[in-house]
Chains A and B, each alone.
Chain A
Amino acid sequence: MGTIQNKLEGPVTDELTLVQAAKKGDDSAFEELVRRYDRNVFRIAQHITQNREDAEDVVQEAFLKAYSNLAKFQEQSKFYTWLVRIAVNEALMKLRRKKPERTVSLDEDIKTEDDSLPREIADWSPNPEQQYTQAELREILSKTIQGLPPGFRTVFVLRDVEGLSTEETAAALELSVPAVKSRLLRARLQLRERLGRFFQKRGSGNGDGKSGDGEQ
């Protein structure tokens, strides 16, 4: 079984050149940075806010904030990681305003390890996503990820959808590397379990309560 390959896209070689030009007042350089990262920021924002209009606002606010704080940007880190941090904060603020009754934080309690033990072990059909139309699949994926706490889905999106490294994710979210790893594991396992309802083999067994009974 192979490992997951990240899809880190986009040239990063001259990012610093663009940032330095933008800092000196070259707006076309800043516009190029917008062009380079707007899709990523939009995806991240919509994953967190789960609302398209909010995501549009977050994209605008995040880039404007980056523009107005560019002088403060320390060039030791990547501009993209810094931008993601701004966008995540903006997106979480939107969520907090909408759901003040719920705590929206990246610092949710880490419960015991046991709560992430898989309960559902049933195998999936081969190429399960092909059982659905593109629109149905998007609906399933969107609804499924909405069920995760914001702190989990943010880590999952940055690591597994956007392809940031664990260290970059930790830097962008101001979390420790172990905290990112712990959330990522739980996010992946929870999504797997929820998707299983749609993707498991017809007639295949339900979970037996825990992993680890060996070959059946």
Chain B
Amino acid sequence: MKCSEFLHELTNYLDGVLDDTTKVELENHLSWCHNCYVVCDTTKKTIEIYRDSQLYELPENLRTRLRSAIMAKCQQYKKRGPESV
């Protein structure tokens, strides 16, 4: 497997959807190609850091306020139709 082929399969590899043969070839490539190993490892870390970051969590007080506003608008819509909201 060449480096360009590794890159092509990187997303499938990280998502765990590679077939066994390609996975073995890719892991074999990673065992000797340091650059691709680093790219793979740091891409995986990138995903994990974002996934675990709790970026843009909705604070509970804002959440309650938004939910009340949504339900009030829904009630309005139900009573008076699309023009009301």
Contacts and interface: CB of A to CB of B under 8 A. Distances in A.
B24 interface: no
Given A43-B55, A59-B66, A160-B51, A121 B46 contact: no
Given A4-B16, A56-B66, A60-B66, A189 B74 contact: no
Interface in A96-130: 113, 116-118, 121-124, 128-129
B57 A141 contact: no
A68 B69 contact: no
B30 to A, nearest CB: 7
How big is chain A's contact interface, by range?
35 or more
A210 B30 CA distance: 15
B65 to A, nearest CB: 9
How big is chain B's contact interface, by range?
35 or more
A152 interface: no
Determine chain B's interface SS by DSSP, over half rule.
helix
Contacts of B6: 211
Contacts of A2: 44
Given A64-B73, A121-B35, A189-B39, 8 more contacts: A4-B15, A27-B75, A60-B66, A121-B39, A123-B42, A160-B50, A166-B15, A185-B11
Interface of A: 1-4, 7, 25, 27, 30-31, 34-35, 38-39, 42-43, 46-47, 55-56, 59-60, 63-64, 67-68, 113, 116-118, 121-124, 128-129, 137-138, 141-142, 145, 156, 160-161, 163, 166, 181, 184-185, 188-189, 191-192, 195-196, 199, 208, 210-216
